[in-house]
Amino acid sequence: MIYQIPINQIYEHIYINFKYQNKMNTKKVKAYGTEAPDAILEQLDINRREITLKDVEIDILYCGVCHSDLHFARNDWGFTVYPVVPGHEIVGKVIRVGDGVSKFKAGDVVAVGCLVDSCRSCNNCKNDLEQYCPEWVGTYGGQDKHLNSPTYGGYSESIVVDEHFVLNIPENLDLAGVAPVLCAGITTWSPLRHWHVGKGTKVAVVGLGGLGHMAIKLANALGADVTLLSRSPNKKQDALDLGAHQMVISTDEEQMAAVQNHFDLIIDTVPYAHDINPYVGALSTNGTLVIVGYLGPLDPMLNSVPMVMGRKNVAGSLIGGIAETQELLDFCGKHDITSDIEIIKIQDINQAYERMLKSDVHYRFVIDMASLKK
Ligand code: NAP
Ligand code: ZN
Ligand code: ZN
């Protein structure tokens, strides 16, 4: 027997699609992005959806430059769909809101981080862990559920986001300096909170870049004893100024031997494959090495001996949920914490990427998006 779909269902399907597509108007906005892994970033046009009931339309003022932007633009992780418009450390001014929006109004200064949607009904969503929702939508490289097309990030004039994923910024914080809190900040805050870092916890941070410098500031503000593990001896004074209590040169075997079995928590921000075994050795019993930087198979392999012999843990962590990001913004407001930044024009983004590859960032580039309007 041939199964036949009732004709009224087919009509209904066509009608809904027709109505939906007709209803969902788009607006063309200027952006900066790339069409291929080996191409530079250039100006291009993208479509933003018109606001729906719960949407907030934001005029972007500043956008931080994360190493993930570079990984994604160059297809380091192998799943980039082009064109790409990176940027997930967004600060901007609300220009319009949908009729059902209750948290924001035109004129508010707000923030958007790495997430712009999720299913809202799975256990992770219900537990404020939207970043682990199987249907989470990244600010760029995700799938806009309204337009059924890729999401584009903050290297653009404006963005439209459901109010659930829009955050409040404490009034005392510098707007450009707060942008990196939305990714570099929350990515290190989430493990600090999950592993209950507080007064006297021995925390080490591997790599002094965007994530690393926020990790030092936040761990210090939580009362931890903070150590930077870095391959760059010239960063020592900066590390101390940021709030680290000491620095260990990670390539110096003697210095590493002196911190064996020492740390309660190590946050590893290094973006590329590297040997994590010396860091596992530096963990105390029950200590945890949490990888937030590198994505992929470990090389060299992980040796289980120090883990088994010392009940040591190796873990990973992805950004943070919306409630946790708001908690961090409020904490930053209370402790007057922002990122140490270098403001650039959007036209300088390709040089910024080259400098980021050489670890020559002090300690986050933030794009003044007014440069895109000129
Ligand atoms: P960044 O500003 O470029 O800093 C990375 C730091 O790692 C460098 O400053 C450097 O510090 C160290 N490093 C060691 N080996 C390196 C190498 N071969 N090349 C470059 N740097 C090296 O990067 P970021 O923005 O902090 O991001 C760090 C990583 O976290 C990236 O892979 C990014 O994709 C990832 N990330 C993950 C999440 C998440 O949710 N898990 C969120 C955001 C970003 P020293 O000179 O001190 O050694
Ligand atoms: Zn990021
Ligand atoms: Zn979900």
Token code pair at residue 196: 């209950």
User: Would you say how long the chain is, in residues?
Assistant: 374
Phi and psi of 244, rounded to 5°? -70, 150
Nearest CA-CA partner of 352 in 367, 374, 337: 367
d(CA 306, CA 309): 5
d(CA 310, CA 22): 62
The pLDDT of residue 374? 79
Residue 84 DSSP SS3: strand
Q: How far is the CA of 208 from the centre of ligand 3 (A)?
A: 33
The pLDDT of residue 20? 42
Q: Verify whether ligand 1 is closer than 6 Å to residue 207 (CB atom).
A: yes
pTM: 0.94
Express each pLDDT in 106-154 by its tens digit. 999 999 999 999 999 999 999 999 999 999 999 999 999 999 999 999 9
Q: Verify whether ligand 1 is closer than 6 Å to residue 215 (CB atom).
A: no
Percent of the chain with pLDDT over 70: 94
63, 66, 131, 205, best to mutate for ligand 1 pocket (most atoms within 8 Å of CB): 66
359, 360, 364, 365, best to mutate for ligand 1 pocket (most atoms within 8 Å of CB): 359
218, burial (CB in 10 Å: exposed 0-12, middle 13-18, buried 19+): buried
User: Which is it for strands 225-230 and 246-249: parallel, antiparallel or unpaired?
Assistant: parallel
Q: Verify whether ligand 1 is closer than 6 Å to residue 244 (CB atom).
A: no
The pLDDT of residue 179? 99
Contacts of 314 (CB under 8 A, 6+ apart): 276, 280, 288, 289, 291, 302, 307
Residue ranges in the chain modelled with pLDDT below 70? 1-23
d(CA 181, CA 348): 22
Q: Are 329 and 319 in contact (CB under 8 A)?
A: no
The pLDDT of residue 23? 62
Q: State the chain's mean pLDDT as an integer.
A: 94
**Single-letter amino acid code for the residue at 33:** G
**What is the separation, in whole angstroms, between the first and last Cα of the chain?**
65
Express each pLDDT in 249-263 by its tens digit. 999 999 999 999 999
74, 189, 292, 363, best to mutate for ligand 1 pocket (most atoms within 8 Å of CB): 292
Token code pair at residue 70: 């570079």
DSSP state of 51: P
Token code pair at residue 227: 């150590």
